[in-house]
A and B are shown apart, each in its own frame.
Chain A
Amino acid sequence: MKLPTVNDNPFMKPMEWLSLLVLAALILVVLPLALDGFRLNLVGKYLTYAFVALGLVICWGYCGILSLGQGVFFGLGGYCMAMYLKLEASSVENTKIQSTPGIPDFMDWNQVTALPWFWKPFHSLPLTLIAVVAVPTLFAFVVGAAMFKRRVGGTYFAIITQAVAAILTILIIGQQGYTGGINGITDLRTLHGWDIRTDSAKSILYFVNGGLLIACILIAQYVKRSKLGRILVAMRDKEDRVRFSGYSVASFKIFAFCLAAAFAAVGGAMFTLQVGFMSPSFVGIVPSIEMVIYTAVGGRLSLFGAVYGTLLVNWAKTSFSESFPELWLFGLGALFIAVVLAFPNGLAGIWRQHVEPRLPGRAKPPAAPTVLPHGAPAE
């Protein structure tokens, strides 16, 4: 009997290796050579959003769970990092003009006289690095477990995540003595004694960021090509069938949601490091929805598309708002509509439909889910 080709299940197909190579070259070689320090730092900031977009590919594209609260995880990761940096910047020496030296300045302004207990672990860098990933992931686990075990999905889930984002924003703003309030945690200086504000530090952070992003792409790729990836697709399609094939559907959804949260958290931490502050404006609804559109523009089923989509939308945002600030919202709104109506598979879809077939020596697109199903993704 002839063995069918599906039996080889390589980690990545040649085309995917090539895509990864191109992306890595773009991020790590081309952009650093082509852009000045300022623009490169900007790209670095955009790339932190790509982590969120990447998570959404797994969670939304593959698993059909649309979360409109990814900013929560981005923000939590960023806040964990910012708390560490703030404590370092608030040494007794730096803050001796305060009534209580050694605590962050905003606490002093709010008559907080001792460091709150939940800030204490952030004196330690290893604990901070663990918390950056663990806190948002745990939070995602709690929300996910509560929702998915009770079969909440689709639009309900989207709206509830939105509410969670709104609540967290109000909480952070309201508890300004502990969180820095609406101003956020600002004026961050050093990471374990290393000044993150210098130009050389910024370029090093850029490369660290790029490296982490590629690592996350590889992790996502591993998940996607594993049986788990196919189960996610299967679930989006026929949830009951998966359930009656003996899988606990909720666990798989929780996993996808937690993975997306962990990616977003890493992005948030890198954001804090590169931009130098964290504020509640990333936790809210608007940034969360914007991050969804990065994924949609890139193609919700394409890991590489997510990165390109993020870069493209942000580049457009920056250049548009420099030249025609009034038109930017029209443009962004139209982009949302166009991507949904005309290009549901985003850039990746356009590439597969129009570019790839014309490349020399390319066979038909693979059988993997390259096209968005006609039906609703997991209702």
Chain B
Amino acid sequence: MNAALLPGATPNDKDFLLAVEALTVSFDGFKAVNDVSFYVDPDEIRVIIGPNGAGKTTVLDLICGRTKATSGSIKYRGQELTRLSESAIVQAGVGRKFQTPSIYDDLTVFENLEISFPRGRTVFGALTFTRDAEVRDRIHQIAEMIFLKDHLDARAEYLSHGQKQWLEIGMLLIQDPELLMLDEPVAGMSVAERKKTAELLHQIIKGRSVLVIEHDMKFVEDIAHRVTVLHQGRVLSEGSMERVKNDPKVVEVYLGH
């Protein structure tokens, strides 16, 4: 099932939603990501794990264009992402959630979602954007999904930490990305919130691929189709959770601690 791991198979970009190959980035000689390759299938949930400083967040940064790669390629549906601007990458269908909730404190929940609605993204589009029925319906639908339909009028600043995380996930959902990247979506959540979030994730992954960074192993086991383990900027191991868990290299550097 995993073409990349089969010996002798040449990966064909067209089959993958995302193909990361030989990706390297160095900061003044320090290689934060070093020759990393992995491939994500359509509708797959991939979790990236690894100890602190392994380069997980940097990989997401590279995919969404926040950091420019030193070498290597990132192909999304056969399209080279390393040459696109961040906004073009988003418009191609890649969504990204940050580690700490990244929402607009000064705007209401409704406005937060509205800004993420994928229409009127140019300057003049934004000037002439109207809040029509389609927009409202979609926002209400998403708000319901992320448990915030009663808070649409509230300033985002006043939401709880968990609610902010949900709001950001909602803002990604309204973009309807084909590849959704989540950086520690349940970090800092209460047990109840965590449960609700897992539920939410199960609901939203339908019809898209998801790339998740997470530390919470129980959560990872719960959702991952496959797991990629990074260590010191390199891919240490890859495969099902079961396989990775039993990989002695992984045990040594990560799970064993």
| A touches B in complex, CB < 8 A | yes
Which of B85, B103, B107, B112 contacts A248, CB < 8 Å? B85
Docked-complex contact A246 and B110, CB < 8 angstroms: no
Measured CA separation A306–B94 after assembly (Å):
41
Which A residues lie within 8 Å of B96 (CB)? 244
Measured CA separation A306–B30 after assembly (Å):
49
Distance (whole angstroms) from the CB of A255 to the closest CB of chain B: 5
Measured CA separation A228–B102 after assembly (Å):
19
A111 in contact (CB, < 8 A): no
Measured CA separation A1–B140 after assembly (Å):
9
Docked-complex contact A6 and B102, CB < 8 angstroms: no
Docked-complex contact A240 and B66, CB < 8 angstroms: yes
Instruction: Annotate B130-159 by CB proximity to A: 1 below 8 A, 0 otherwise.
Output: 010000100010000000010011010000
Which of A5, A9, A237, A252 contacts B104, CB < 8 Å? A237
Measured CA separation A4–B90 after assembly (Å):
29
Helix, strand, loop or mixed for chain A's interface?
helix
Docked-complex contact B66 and A6, CB < 8 angstroms: no
Distance (whole angstroms) from the CB of A259 to the closest CB of chain B: 10
Docked-complex contact B106 and A6, CB < 8 angstroms: no
Which B residues lie within 8 Å of A252 (CB)? 123, 126
Docked-complex contact A227 and B120, CB < 8 angstroms: yes
Given the interface pairs A6-B110, A231-B126, A246-B90, the reply to whether A240 lies near B115 with Cβ below 8 Å is: no
User: Considering residues B103, B108, B115, B136, which has the most beta carbons from chain A within 10 angstroms of its beta carbon?
Assistant: B115
A233 in contact (CB, < 8 A): yes
Instruction: Annotate A228-257 by CB proximity to B: 1 below 8 A, 0 otherwise.
Output: 101101101110111111111101100100
Number of A interface residues in the complex (CB < 8 A): 35
Which of A3, A234, A238, A245 contacts B90, CB < 8 Å? A245
A223 in contact (CB, < 8 A): yes
**Closest residue of B by beta carbon distance from A243:** B86
User: Considering residues A228, A230, A245, which has the most beta carbons from chain B within 10 angstroms of its beta carbon?
Assistant: A245
A373 in contact (CB, < 8 A): yes
Which B residues lie within 8 Å of A234 (CB)? 104, 106-107, 112, 115
Measured CA separation A249–B123 after assembly (Å):
10
Measured CA separation A228–B175 after assembly (Å):
17
Measured CA separation A251–B153 after assembly (Å):
29
Measured CA separation A226–B122 after assembly (Å):
13
Which B residues lie within 8 Å of A244 (CB)? 64, 66, 86, 90, 95-96
Return 5 A-B CB contacts under 8 Å, by A number.
A227-B126, A240-B102, A244-B66, A246-B87, A373-B106
Residues on B facing A (Cβ under 8 Å): 64, 66, 85-87, 90-91, 95-96, 98, 102-108, 110-112, 114-116, 118, 120-123, 126-129, 131, 136, 140, 149, 152-153, 155, 168, 171, 175
Residues on A facing B (Cβ under 8 Å): 1, 3-7, 9, 222-223, 226-228, 230-231, 233-234, 236-238, 240-249, 251-252, 255, 367, 369, 373
The 5 closest A-B pairs by CB, nearest first: A246-B90, A228-B126, A227-B129, A369-B106, A234-B104
